[in-house]
């Protein structure tokens, strides 16, 4: 009898070690900005208790830009975050002892574009020469412009930049004080729409047309945290994928849950933003077979070469420093 008790005690003990994420393990997660449409996968995961099903009690806070999110995750203020992984090339180069990696590419492609006034006689990238483009100096799209310009055949020295805050740049475009802005396409087009602009009055020159390897936005974690709590990271990634699949299947239902994160969220407007963003960032046909988050080594290396050039830093020797796909569930669980 004692041997049977010892056997079952040993079995229970082994099981406890194989399930390090206990019921309702707290996890702190920070977004990249204020609550907007692209955050619907997270809010619907909360609403449908997907985090709880995977043993997590998730606390989700607004962010203040990807750079701030990366710093807060690296410093342990938050366990995980949602940010632009392209920025990790620069951050990890400057902080080799506190590296941050992406563990899930939530949105496959970026939404960066130059939004131009059709009245400025801009129909293609070359037409930007001799024109004024508005953007904050630190804006990712502006910083990437030299790489885009070379790929698109633009003489970047012939473009005049007008520095403007994120809140002001779209107003300058609407009034005609600049010919174009560097921005995330859905953000600017929705802002122009609210100002009463007609869609046909503006042209979008997407970076993805010439830089198709660029990454979208994803879940980031410090390498230290990922090493210490790998099962928690896997549970969080699995939860977000489940939420994203629900959001892609029923955007309207997902958008309604944004009020869980921000009671003042404009559901109708954010539904439009979500749909516009998905149309830009989730059109890669490989996602249907390879699943959400899949990136080939060749694509990742090319994307990082763009960012290394942008920030004048070396390309990482180990690309898993930028995107560690070992935390992804099997492809069958990620297809949609």
d(CA 141, CA 322): 19
Q: Are 67 and 189 in a shared domain? A: no
Please identify, among 177, 209, 241, the residue that sits at the C-terminal boundary of a domain.
209
Q: In CATH, what number is assigned to the domain containing residue 64?
A: 3.40.190.10
pLDDT at 199: 87
- Whether residue 141 is contained in a domain is answered as yes
- Whether residue 277 is contained in a domain is answered as yes
Q: Are 98 and 186 in a shared domain? A: no
Please identify, among 172, 193, 209, the residue that sits at the C-terminal boundary of a domain.
209
Q: Are 219 and 100 in a shared domain? A: yes
> CA geometry: angle at 255 spanning 51 and 324, to 5°?
45
Residue 122 main-chain phi, psi, to 5 deg: -115, 115
Please identify, among 190, 209, 228, the residue that sits at the C-terminal boundary of a domain.
209
Give average pLDDT by consecutive 10-residue segment, the chain, 336 residues: 39 39 85 96 98 98 95 98 96 97 97 95 97 93 94 97 95 97 95 94 96 97 98 98 98 98 97 96 93 97 95 95 98 95
Residue 51 main-chain phi, psi, to 5 deg: -60, -45
Q: Are 88 and 192 in a shared domain? A: no
Per the CB < 8 A criterion, the answer to whether 162 and 153 are in contact is no
Q: Are 225 and 120 in a shared domain? A: no
The residue range of the domain holding 328 is 22-109+215-333
Q: Which among 41, 69, 97 is positioned nearest to 255, based on CA atoms? A: 41
Retrieve residue 278's tokens.
């998905």
pLDDT at 55: 97
- Whether residue 241 is contained in a domain is answered as yes
pLDDT at 22: 55
Q: Are 177 and 314 in a shared domain? A: no
Per the CB < 8 A criterion, the answer to whether 239 and 50 are in contact is yes
Q: Are 223 and 82 in a shared domain? A: yes
pTM: 0.89
Residue 208 main-chain phi, psi, to 5 deg: -60, -20
Retrieve residue 14's tokens.
């082994």
């Amino acid at each position: 009898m004692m041997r049977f008790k010892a056997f079952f005690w040993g079995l229970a003990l082994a099981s406890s070690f194989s399930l390090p994420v206990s019921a309702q393990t707290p996890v702190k997660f920070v977004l990249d900005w204020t609550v907007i449409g692209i955050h619907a996968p997270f809010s619907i995961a909360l609403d449908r208790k997907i985090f709880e099903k995977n043993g997590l009690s998730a606390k989700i806070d607004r962010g203040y830009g990807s750079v701030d999110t990366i710093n807060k995750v690296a410093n342990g203020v938050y366990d995980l975050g949602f940010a632009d992984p392209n920025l990790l090339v620069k951050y990890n180069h400057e902080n080799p002892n506190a590296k941050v990696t992406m563990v899930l590419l939530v949105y496959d492609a970026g939404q960066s574009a130059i939004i131009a006034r059709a009245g400025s006689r801009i129909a293609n990238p070359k037409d930007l020469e001799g024109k004024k483009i508005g953007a904050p100096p630190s804006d990712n799209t502006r910083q990437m412009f030299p790489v885009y310009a070379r790929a698109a055949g633009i003489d970047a020295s012939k473009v005049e930049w007008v520095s403007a805050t994120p809140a002001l740049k779209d107003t300058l475009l609407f009034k005609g004080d600049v010919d174009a802005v560097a921005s995330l396409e859905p953000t600017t087009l929705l802002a122009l729409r609210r100002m009463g602009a007609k869609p046909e009055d503006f042209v979008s020159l997407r970076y993805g047309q010439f830089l198709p390897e660029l990454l979208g936005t994803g879940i980031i974690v410090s390498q230290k945290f990922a090493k210490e709590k790998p099962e928690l990271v896997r549970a969080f990634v699995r939860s977000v994928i489940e939420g994203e699949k629900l959001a892609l299947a029923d955007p309207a239902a997902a958008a309604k849950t944004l009020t869980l994160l921000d009671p003042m969220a404009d559901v109708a407007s954010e539904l439009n933003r979500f749909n516009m963003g998905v149309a830009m960032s989730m059109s890669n046909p490989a996602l249907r077979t390879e699943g959400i988050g899949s990136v080939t080594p060749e694509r990742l290396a090319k994307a990082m070469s763009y960012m290394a050039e942008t920030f004048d830093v070396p390309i990482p020797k180990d690309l898993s420093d930028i995107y560690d796909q070992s935390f992804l569930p099997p492809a069958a669980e990620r297809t949609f």
